[in-house]
């Protein structure tokens, strides 16, 4: 069972101390008032986080940034009651430079809201010396550079083309097996047992927009490579994968991209930028551009 919010809040100082951090007593909130003429460029950048007062004097614009809770180390804490979209807007406006935030492991619905806001959700285990309290927390990640594949730009090397016909792509056929193999090969440093359990549960839920999904390639009926990720609207976000023989991993990514393109997805979100992703035609884009594209495609 996932720890309850009340338990977390009683032990919050202890949890933060485990990270060598101290809790900030006062949330950082920016409230600025602009009177008269305001630089139009600045207003344009601020529209995601401000509103114009209908009761105040004519010409007044109140810029209210969503309150972000920072640790002294500079990391942001996301609360289960936060509006995750507004957190992202405030992070972008504040030019947040860290890759990760910290968040309570507060159940599947909260994790879904983080995913729906564009975070790639990771997790980490806490050492609590047997005392009551959460054993894991979340590390929502908004990459400073996001790797994205637009399907018309998919590049298939000649040396790989001859392997494509040797494999069969299957979707959501062996989700648990593929996810368990990823953990077995890569370890549970961020794919912690509670997060693995959540991803397995999201694959079967029908009452939410966010769904976890698996892709596997099979040769002569045997699974040779696979990955799991999350679907939100017309975007698929890749989380982790593995392969058991040469070229099988590359073939799996290519066949998956072609399948996503055929059924109407907008783009493939590959998360962290790596050379093998760039070799397939992926582009590196800014967090702000990613959020724009993601929100347009998640509806």
Q: Which of 179, 209, 227 is nearest to 297 (CA)?
A: 209
| Model pLDDT, residue 126 | 79
For residues 124-143, average pLDDT = 79
- Of 153, 149, 121, give the one whose Cα is nearest residue 236: 149
* pTM for this model (two decimals): 0.77
CA-angle at 34, arms to 28 and 36, nearest 5°: 180
Beta-bridge mates of residue 69: 77
Contact 265, 235 (CB under 8 A): yes
**Pair (150, 200) in one structural domain:** yes
| Residue 167 domain boundaries | 146-297
* Token pair 């070799």 in the structure block, residue: 279
Q: Same domain, yes or no, for 60 and 72?
A: no
CB 143 within 8 A of CB 117: no
Residues 43 and 130 in one domain: no
In this prediction, residue 135 has a pLDDT band, given cuts at 50, 70 and 90, of confident
Percent of the chain surpassing pLDDT 90: 63
CA 157 – CA 128 distance, rounded (Å)? 49
Do β-strands 136-141 and 120-125 pair in parallel, antiparallel, or remain unpaired? antiparallel
Same structural domain, 180 and 259: yes
Same-domain check for residues 103 and 151: no
Q: Which two tokens stand for residue 13?
A: 């100082």
What is the per-residue pLDDT for 128? 64
Q: Same domain for 160 and 263?
A: yes
Last residue of a domain, one of 141, 161, 188: 141
Residue that is last in its domain, among 141, 175, 207: 141
* 269 pLDDT more than 70: yes
Q: Are residues 181 and 262 in the same domain?
A: yes
The mean pLDDT of the chain is 80
Task: Give the C-alpha separation, 55 to 115, whole Å.
Answer: 36
Structural domain tally of the chain? 3
For residue 17, what pLDDT is reported? Answer: 53
Asked if 123 contacts 139 with a C-beta cutoff of 8 angstroms, the reply is yes
Of 125, 282, 99, the C-alpha closest to 192 is 125
- Same structural domain, 74 and 135: yes
Helix extents (H) in the chain: 5-10, 12-18, 40-46, 84-93, 108-116, 158-164, 175-186, 193-202, 248-262, 275-279, 287-297
Q: Of 107, 141, 175, which marks where a domain is finished?
A: 141
Residues 99 and 211 in one domain: no
pLDDT at 203: 87
The answer to which of 7-11, 120-124, 174-178 has the lowest mean pLDDT is 7-11
**Same domain, residue pair 157 and 278:** yes
User: Band of the pLDDT at 134, cuts 50, 70, 90?
Assistant: low
pLDDT of residue 97: 87
CB distance 171 to 214 below 8 Å: yes
Q: What is the pLDDT of residues 44-99, one digit of tens each?
A: 223 233 333 344 444 444 445 788 888 888 889 999 999 999 999 999 999 998 99
Q: What percent of the chain stands above pLDDT 70?
A: 76
Same domain, 53 and 84: no
């Amino acid at each position: 069972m996932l720890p309850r919010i009340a338990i977390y809040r009683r032990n919050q100082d202890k949890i933060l101390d485990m990270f060598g951090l101290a809790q900030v007593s006062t949330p950082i909130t920016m409230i600025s008032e602009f009177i008269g003429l305001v630089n139009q460029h600045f207003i344009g950048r601020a529209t995601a986080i401000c509103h114009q007062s209908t009761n105040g004097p004519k010409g007044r614009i109140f810029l209210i940034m969503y309150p972000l809770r920072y640790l002294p180390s500079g990391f942001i804490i996301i609360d289960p009651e936060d509006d995750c979209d507004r957190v992202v807007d405030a992070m972008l406006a504040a030019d947040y430079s860290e890759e990760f935030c910290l968040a309570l492991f507060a159940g599947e619905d909260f994790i879904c809201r983080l995913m729906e806001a564009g975070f790639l959700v990771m997790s980490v285990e806490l050492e609590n010396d047997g005392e009551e309290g959460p054993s894991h927390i979340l590390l929502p990640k908004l990459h400073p550079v996001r790797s994205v594949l637009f399907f018309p730009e998919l590049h298939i090397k000649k040396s790989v083309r001859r392997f494509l016909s040797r494999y069969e792509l299957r979707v959501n056929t062996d989700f648990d097996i593929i996810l368990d193999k990823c953990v077995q090969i890569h370890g549970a440093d961020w794919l912690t047992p509670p997060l693995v359990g959540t991803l397995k549960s999201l694959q079967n839920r029908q009452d939410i927009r966010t769904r976890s999904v698996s892709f596997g390639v099979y040769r002569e009926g045997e699974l040779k490579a696979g990955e799991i990720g999350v679907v939100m609207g017309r975007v698929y976000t890749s989380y982790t994968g593995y392969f058991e023989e040469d070229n099988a991993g590359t073939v799996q990514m290519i066949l998956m991209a072609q399948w996503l393109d055929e059924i109407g997805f907008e783009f493939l979100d590959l998360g962290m930028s790596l050379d093998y992703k760039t070799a397939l035609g992926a582009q590196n884009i800014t967090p702000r551009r990613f959020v724009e594209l993601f929100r347009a495609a998640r509806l």
